[in-house]
Structure 1
Amino acid sequence: MPNGDYLEGSFNGEWGSGLKVTGSYFKPHLFDTDKDKTQAMKLGHLCVCAEDKWPAVFEECWSQLGCEAPGRGEPEKAWENIAVALTTSRRHILDSPDVLSRSHNKTLESLEVIPQHVGPITMDRYNAIRLYLIKACDTPLHPLGQLLETLVAVYRMTYVGVGANRRLLHQAVSEIKSYLNRIFLIVRFLFPDLPEEGGLIPEPTTDLQEKNEPNSTDALPESPKPARVVSSSALLLPVLLPRLYPPLFTLYALDKEREDDVYWECVLRLNKQPDLALLAFLGVQQKFWPVSIPASLPAPGEKQLVISSTKDACFASAVETLQQISTTFTPSDKLQVIQLTFEEITQEVQALLKQDFLWSMDDLFPVFLYVVLRARIRNLGSEVSLIEDLMDPCVQHGEHGIMFTTLKACYYQIQHEKVT
């Protein structure tokens, strides 16, 4: 309890009809030592570890692949089992009165063909694996599709309805990460040459780059060649997270309810101001203020001047782009939206200044803050937390990481903005 009191015992009963408690009520003494206080039980201490949840579901998938235990089997036999299972299922469907759509039939036929699963992993092969996983996970007749369908069902049963409690957010996120790790083990079993988590796949080089490489021994050391980092999140989140997004985002919204309410109140107040007044209030340098905007009807294509009463017109394309963050599911897609927003802002400023321009954070932050305010994203705190929890670790310190940090700083700034 908030005051430190706690119940210890057994609880039984039905939800909504009262709980029967058999146990003891403890009220910590005011003079308890710090050592005693640190022994207080934390929420989730007795929860089942995410890695230990639903073992039978994964064992069933391994069994369908012909493995007695996870990873103990032959990939060749697993691929044969997949092909036989798909062929048999398709024949049963064709013999049944249910009509199989042409696209579904073509998908099953393509999955029956065993893909190349041995040999060096190039970017082309990596993309082929990614596309194969998308089709396999969309097909319940495939062992991976059946696994995903079952995991989605148990996840929804756990975190929808009574389970929609903000205190379960940590467990819900940990469970998704556990799914990714365990499914990735199956994928690497089927494609043995796929690098492990954090491994690199070299990007293809052009003929021109190869010709320009120095051959002399006195040449400078080569710069690192571009490579794709292999991660379970990049490979599997696009097929897993859209199915789990509604219950997961509900938990984020419940967890961030207070912060989002404070943020939203400030957004509503600041958005009462016209564009130029808001730009001035946020400290945007005047050289970045748009002087004209595309005219609306009845004269599309022409320009109209930005005046003191103009509202919701400056940086409109960037605002519309950022609003799309609420329509995406995966952290990578959300980060892509943020990147496109920055690009829209840069293009508009370059057109205004009529020259190339290199941003400094002191110049960029107020402009981006304006765009975030005008975008009016209701649950921005939830969006930020979801990205932070599930984003690919390899992008945290790159360009996307910096852009995300800027968005996070804007959210914090808006919450603490003094509206006068």
Structure 2
Amino acid sequence: MSELGAKPRSRKLGRRCTSSTQESLVLVEGIYVKTVSPGVVESFLKKEEDFLKKLSLISSTVLNVLLQADESDTAGKDHLKSIIVINERFHALFDLTAGCYKTLTELHEESSVDVYDLYIVKKERNFIQAYTQYFLGVTNHIATKGFDRVSRAASNHWKSNKRGLKTLIAETLDISFTVFLQRVFTEPFRSHVQTYSLLLSQLSEKSGEDAKRTSSIDLSHAYHNLSKYIGQVLDEASQTKQLWATLSHKLTAALYTLERRLQEDSKNVPIVTTSGKQDRILLFDDVLVFIQGHETHICDLKTLWVDSSTKPTYKQSNQVLRIVTPEAEFLLSCKEPQNQALWQWKLNQLIRQRVNGSRDFPLWGKTGEANEPPTSRVSSYTYKNDSRYKNATYHGDMSWGKPHGKGTLTWPDGRNYVGDFQYGQENGFGVCLVPSSLEDRYDCYKCHWVNGAMLGYGICEFADESVYKGYFKDNMRHGYGVLENLASGSNPFKYTGNWYKDKMSGYGVWDSSHKGERYIGMWRNNQRQGHGIVLTHMGACYQGTFSLNKLVGPGILISEDGSVYEGEFTEECLLAGKGKLTFNNGFTLVGTFNRNQTTSGLQAQGVLNTSCEDLTESMKRKFQFGEGVLPIEERWHDIFEHFQKFLESGCRKETEESFLGFHVKSNKKLEQAQEYLYCQRESDDVSGKIEDILKEMSLHLEQESMQCYLEKAFKSSHHPLMKLMKELCVAYQATYSGIGSNLHLLSMAQEEIKHYATKIWEFYSALKVMASGENKKVVPAGGVEEISEEVNPYTVVLPPLLPYFHEDLSMLYMLYHQQEDKHYWQGIVRLGTLTDTKLLEFLDVQRQLWPLKDIKLTANQRYSIVRHKCFHSATECLQKITTVMDPRQKLEIILKTYAEIEKTVLRVVDKDYKLPMDDLLPLLIYVVSRAGIQRLGAEIHFIYDLMDPSIRGGIYDFLLTALESCYEHIQREEIRLYK
């Protein structure tokens, strides 16, 4: 409807342009304003006065009678409620009419009245609303046969007052009381609305060809539409009343609602379903009803779609309409094209109005007017027959009868799902709550879904306070994941590893805070199965083969005091059977071992060797667990596999989230859950969009440039490689931090770092291939096609990778070389007590190479200067080796230290001089002793293990060997005991 109320206009009159007995146009402030003559106002005032008198008469002679009901009549009370509604809306109209009459009385004395001062124009919206509400109440009463009942209840009154009622309706004596009551409550009002429309229509006509109109919209348009609306609602009420009279009581009870109106009936406009059953189709303003024998299908128009594009089969020659609902489809057939067009048009218009939540005004526009309902819409539906969603209520976006978009599914038992849907199934990101056996507790799944099942990365918070973060497949934990319950009072634990069909299977690490132990190894069906390692917080560690959670067969045990047992075990990791026990003092016992059940002690029968010949070799070996029994390819295979699948998919956007974590979408309800799940929200130098990644990678071709890019990528919360790095850090710390800081795991730890670098290099190279546009969606299966000497995992990936693992890895190196570093440090402390001249003499450094041989100073002065100046630049340079993590940078520091020594010697000898090894080694020992680097042995072996293999045998290898020789020399007994 249109709102024709206008801003207040000035009453100042200007030059009169035209004149008429009815109306005129006046130029006011540069615009033409329509005015109403006193004669029109007087005529209008008389009509309002007559209408008010009729309303008063209806109220006193009819409405007051209807408001009196028999207290014992239960059904009558229900109808009385309807009459009360009519009474309230009747008096609302009465008050508006009285207000209109009052303003007309005030305007009556003026010589000319602005049309916008008319009450029906200023209060147009109030009038329209009051009349529509009134007729809604009246038609509700008509459709439910309310007037039939009250006419019978008060029949004696009507008979005795026939003559008095003639003033309301002229044909009172010739019609039934039911028809009389309906006409009393409809005809005067309908007629008065037509009066309003006619009056405003006359006022809105042109006064001349050159006259400007006061509005582009006809003043009478709204009241004309109101008149059409009244006629339409009355027709609908009459049709609906007739329908209720023809249907059975059972069917009427199933379909009846107070405001429901019949729109079309297949008995009037033929249309049938193609099922061949004898049926009847009823179209109401809110539902479509199929009556097929004893079966009745009621379809809400909000969840109904009409498809006219369906082609008839060879057996069908008629026009076909496909009706789609959430759980069923119906094919409707019409013999006549015009019938099919009518049903299709009415269905679409009613669906649109139902979706919008209100009827049109008037109810029907022009026939054929195009205004199709939206294909995608927000709807609610409770499933009745669907096997998966039975009894569940869906609310959210739907398209063609299927959940599609954002929505919520709620089951009666409390289970619910909130998230993305596609073509009727959970697809995308979603949060699912599942009731637990624990009272008022739920399992909460926040995960990616594909075709109705969890697939990809997700987080589950279980009712027992345990939390799983990892991958799912077919609604089960599958692939890499972390399960922990640190809040458990009885048995806090954490499992990091592989899952198969909701069971711990494959390689994994189990931490038990209660037992104070960690298991690293293979699993099957939630049990330890295969090769594994057990570490305890007391320092003991086992390696062996497990079956059904129990250690069986041969293995290795290293106790807290360093004793080593190699042999057979019981299920409880106790010595039992043949074996060899090497004590920490070097004694060995070879024989048979078993436990004494009485004394709980260890009994052994065998040969004891006290020669200690194997002590040195045993200490050198320092058993390294995991070598050979836990291949590097089997560790964390699933982490790389998920990332590999992402690359193989061509890095498509729709697969990125399920393999790499969560990405924030526009749905504000899910943003907090997604942010909590994975992604940080920081500003990054590197984009996380795969298109931007490939574009930028194509610009980095040199070693330093690629290394710099990876450093930024590993720090970017959105970059896929950072998310891969994050998972690797979790797995690495789960294995080697805390209890895992065990010197017997060093070989496994450094081997994993190199494996990480190699795999990331493979992925990086595959992305570069994609970036160049060559061989898209192909990832090298076994490795990179070509690794140059300059550009390889050690030079490109390892430098930015090491900082994330260096703390745990360096701790293992420190523990492994703790004894050697202790001896080395004793030598450093002893050599630190010597002056530089004494130390140079002790190391047999040739005097011609001493930097201070020509300075004439006293002994004290020489001591002070030599102490702070002799090979000082080389010493400072070597001390920087602990400030960097990259093995190549450490080697560069060693090379620079050598250059500083050589530079100092050249300055002293003042000629070209090539330091032979015999002269270099003592000078290097001097520099090392003065640099005072703690745990130098750990540093040297860290470089050896992680240095680029392509530079072995060159100058770096030579200098590292020289540095190791210095380290071993300082460890020697003669230096540590030198006085």
TM-score (norm 1): 0.72
- The CA distance in 2 between the partners of 1:348 and 1:388, in whole Å, is 28
Contact residue 319 and residue 372 of structure 1 kept, 8 A: yes
Instruction: Give the aligned partner of residue 890 of structure 2.
Output: 334
Contact residue 334 and residue 387 of structure 1 kept, 8 A: yes
- The CA distance in 2 between the partners of 1:44 and 1:311, in whole Å, is 48
Distance 1:269-1:357 versus aligned 2 partners, 3 A rule: same
Instruction: Give the aligned partner of residue 912 of structure 2.
Output: 356
Superposed CA offset, 1:296-347 (max 9, x none): xxxxxxxx99724642431111111101111111211110111111111122
Give the drift of 1:6: 3.4
Match of 1:388 among 944, 948, 951: 944
- The CA distance in 1 between the partners of 2:892 and 2:666, in whole Å, is 42
Contact residue 180 and residue 236 of structure 1 kept, 8 A: yes
Instruction: Give the aligned partner of residue 138 of structure 1.
Output: 715
- The CA distance in 1 between the partners of 2:850 and 2:895, in whole Å, is 21
Contact residue 877 and residue 893 of structure 2 kept, 8 A: yes
Does residue 244 of the first structure (1) align with residue 812 of the second (2)? no
Give the drift of 1:90: 10
- The CA distance in 1 between the partners of 2:661 and 2:684, in whole Å, is 11
Superposed CA offset, 1:191-225 (max 9, x none): 2389947733xxxxxxxxxxxxxxxxxxxxxxxxx
Does residue 107 of the first structure (1) align with residue 107 of the second (2)? no
Q: Name the amino acid aligned to 1:54.
A: W
Match of 1:51 among 599, 611, 633: 633
Q: Percent identity?
A: 29
Q: Name the amino acid aligned to 2:757.
A: L
Contact residue 328 and residue 334 of structure 1 kept, 8 A: yes
Give the drift of 1:148: 0.7
Match of 1:314 among 856, 870, 873: 870
Give the drift of 1:138: 1.7
Q: Name the amino acid aligned to 1:24.
A: A
Instruction: Give the aligned partner of residue 603 of structure 2.
Output: none
Contact residue 694 and residue 767 of structure 2 kept, 8 A: no
Instruction: Give the aligned partner of residue 277 of structure 1.
Output: 838
Match of 1:162 among 735, 739, 750: 739
Aligned CA-pair RMSD: 3.8
Give the drift of 1:109: 7.9
Question: What count of residue pairs does the alignment treat as equivalent?
Answer: 351
SS at match of 2:800: helix
Mark the runs of 5 or more structure 1 residues left unpaired by the alignment: 12-20, 32-40, 68-72, 201-227, 295-303
- The CA distance in 2 between the partners of 1:90 and 1:372, in whole Å, is 58
Instruction: Give the aligned partner of residue 929 of structure 2.
Output: 373
Does residue 184 of the first structure (1) align with residue 736 of the second (2)? no
Distance 1:254-1:293 versus aligned 2 partners, 3 A rule: farther
Distance 1:367-1:3 versus aligned 2 partners, 3 A rule: closer
Return the index of the structure with the highest Cα Rg.
2
Contact residue 339 and residue 400 of structure 1 kept, 8 A: yes
Distance 1:199-1:5 versus aligned 2 partners, 3 A rule: closer
Contact residue 895 and residue 956 of structure 2 kept, 8 A: yes
Give the drift of 1:25: 4.1
Contact residue 57 and residue 150 of structure 1 kept, 8 A: yes
Give the drift of 1:399: 1.3
Superposed CA offset, 1:119-157 (max 9, x none): xx9x94444333322221221321111111111121112
Distance 1:401-1:91 versus aligned 2 partners, 3 A rule: farther
- The CA distance in 1 between the partners of 2:802 and 2:735, in whole Å, is 16
Instruction: Give the aligned partner of residue 10 of structure 1.
Output: 571
Give the drift of 1:62: 2.4
Give the drift of 1:7: 4.2
Q: Name the amino acid aligned to 2:909.
A: L
Contact residue 292 and residue 306 of structure 1 kept, 8 A: no
Superposed CA offset, 1:270-321 (max 9, x none): 1100001101110111111111899xxxxxxxxx997246424311111111
Higher-RCO chain (CA-CA 8 Å, sequence separation at least 6): 1
- The CA distance in 2 between the partners of 1:90 and 1:288, in whole Å, is 71
Q: Name the amino acid aligned to 1:177.
A: K
Report which of the two has the higher share of strand: 2
- The CA distance in 1 between the partners of 2:877 and 2:624, in whole Å, is 41
- The CA distance in 2 between the partners of 1:382 and 1:329, in whole Å, is 12
Distance 1:198-1:417 versus aligned 2 partners, 3 A rule: farther
SS at match of 1:418: helix
Superposed CA offset, 1:347-395 (max 9, x none): 2222223333322111111111100011111100100111111111111
Distance 1:305-1:285 versus aligned 2 partners, 3 A rule: farther
SS at match of 1:115: helix
Match of 1:291 among 852, 858, 864: 852
SS at match of 1:407: helix
Instruction: Give the aligned partner of residue 199 of structure 1.
Output: 787
- With 185-194 and 367-376 compared, the bigger mean Cα shift is at 185-194
Mark the runs of 5 or more structure 2 residues left unpaired by the alignment: 1-556, 558-562, 580-589, 592-605, 608-622, 773-779
